[in-house]
Structures are given as C-alpha cells and as structure tokens.
Amino acid sequence: MRRKGMMALALSFALLAGCGSVQKETVEEGKNSVQERDIPEGNAQEETTQKESALKENALKESTDNYALADTAAGVTEDIETLETQEVSRQEPDLAEEPQEEAETPIDWTTADHDVNGRNLPIYCVETQEKKVALTFDAAWGNEDTEKILKTLESHGLHVTFFMTGGWVERYPEDVKAILAAGHDLGNHSENHKNMSQLSEEEKKEEIRKVHDQVKDLTGYEMFLFRPPYGDYDNATVDAVKDCGYYPIQWDVDSLDWQNQGVDSILKTVTGHKNLGNGSIILCHNGAEYTAEALDALITALEEQGYTIVPLSELLYKDHYHLNHEGRQIQDQG
C-alpha cells in the first residue's frame, strides 16, 4: 500500500536535532496554540476556491481577508512525500502463488504526542540534524501554473507535497494524476476549505474523508497528510485529523506568495526568513501569480544555502515522537 511505503520511507530518513527558530506570542485559552508558546509565522494564510478566472481577483481579496481574521484570532503580530512483480519460475504453474499485498499498518497514535500543556498542536517543523526542508504547495485555486511547477521540480529532480481541496481535485483530476505520477506526495486540504475550528466533530471528519475517498477512487493513493485551511485549528481539529488516520501539518516558513508581491518578494521572504532552518516546512501555493515564475530561483537559492528539499513523507517521523511548544516534531529517545 502506497501510504505504508511512504511512512516507512519517512522513518528511514528521519534524524535528530534543530529546526528554525520561531517567534514567541501569547495565545488565548482554547485557541490555536498553547499559552506563552512560540508559534511560527503565518498561522492563517490560505486560498479561496474559484472557478472562473474573471473572479480570481475578488476571490484573492476574500482569501486575504480570511487570513487577516485568522491572524487576529491567533494573536499573530507578524507575517506567519512498482512493487515490480517478479515473474515466478513455474515448474508447476497451478501451484505458483500470486504476490500478496501486505496489510497496511495503522498509525500508532499512542506513541505520537501532540499535546503541549493541554493544547493539541499540528506539526510546524521537524527536528533533524540534516539540512533538509520540505517544500509544500496548497492547491485550491486554478491550475494555470501546475504544469510549469511540475516541470521545474522535474528539472531539479525534486519531490514535494501538494495539499489539495476537494473542489480542486474535482476540477483538475488529470493534474492530480500527473502530480502523483511525478512522485510527489498528495495531501488533504479539506473538501470545502472551511475554518475547521468552527465545525462540529462530524463536520471536521467529513471535510477530511470526502477528499480522501475522492483521491483514492481517482488514483488509488491513500493520503495521510492534512493541512487545515487558513492554518485554522483547535484541539478538536487535531483530534479529528488523527482519528481519520492523518498527520496534522502546518508550516514555519510562509512564502507569502498569495500576496502576489512579485518574484523578488517570494525569494527574499523565504531565504531570509528567521524561521528557516533544518526541518522547516515551507508554504507555497499553486495558482498564485508569481509562484511558478519564482520556483526555479527559489530552489537554487535554498540549495546554495546547503538545503536538500524533500517531500513531507521523507521529513516526518512516523511515530514515537512528541511536539514542543513551537510545534516542532521531536523523535523520542530510547
């Protein structure tokens, strides 16, 4: 099963130590984070689904307003990853056994601790001694730049993670297949791009399950990474994500590409970000105006700083980990 293979791969690559530094802030009781915890910038930037290019400007404005509201709620004051069937030599054809697919191993959440002083946190970054970062793309707008993004990633020999809404999957099924065929992670970004903290427990799970089933029916791929729209979550959201067999994912470096400020802005924002470090998770979007154009230079700049870009399935620890007050995933010792 693909998901199991990706998870096993995640374990084999995971090592200990350091992640980029993050800013400190106090958060109200019951909100996205713990009291007096350091939170990476950008708890609330995301995209609004749109169907027609003529509506894109208004949709982007609505998305920006949602980010601002979520930033205010969080108290944020700054920018915030064949089985090749081996032919059996058959002396007795009728006796040859067909290859059996190995049963999927469920995530052992008893060894994965997301509770930090009473707050359930998603994973913002990963502690590792290796200079690895994960590049991620949220897909909820159009697909005009998807082909260019995929070609740029291929030219660099890189794999990344795409988080997709149900609407995007429905509108662009061939793009979903192309992303998977190119070796990238498929991630879940909810069915309808709603604020997860405002939904009931069943509604939260429905937002996750619908996209999961849709992608599985389309590709056979079992998704296991979930990023909440707008970066909005509460304790119940993290619980619902885990109940659905997913790892809850945020980011600690926001490219701010959704602001459409140009190529240079994206490059400076990411490469000069105070949180950028080993194990960082970088947020980008396809469908933003300058992201595809900036991608080649961004990859080159990160590599010049010594970073290796990997998909989240290679960066995360599968189990036996805990999170600190920064949302940093740390592998347990012993």
Active site members:
138, 285
Q: What SS3 class is residue 285?
A: strand
**Tokens representing residue 289 in the block:** 């105006």
Quote the DSSP letter at residue 187: E
CA–CA gap between residue 268 and residue 265 (Å, rounded):
5
Tokens representing residue 261 in the block: 């400020």
Gap between the Cα atoms of 329 and 52, Å rounded: 39
Name the residue among 170, 131, 172, 171 with its Cα closest to residue 150.
172
**What does 189-243 look like in DSSP terms, one character per residue?**
--SS---GGGS-HHHHHHHHHHHHHHHHHHH-----EE--GGG---HHHHHHHHH
Specify the amino acid at residue 257: D
What are the contacts of 203-210 at 24+ separation with CB within 8 A? 204/236, 204/237, 204/240, 204/241, 205/240, 205/243, 205/244, 208/240, 208/241, 208/244, 208/246, 209/244, 210/166
**DSSP letter assigned to residue 94:** G
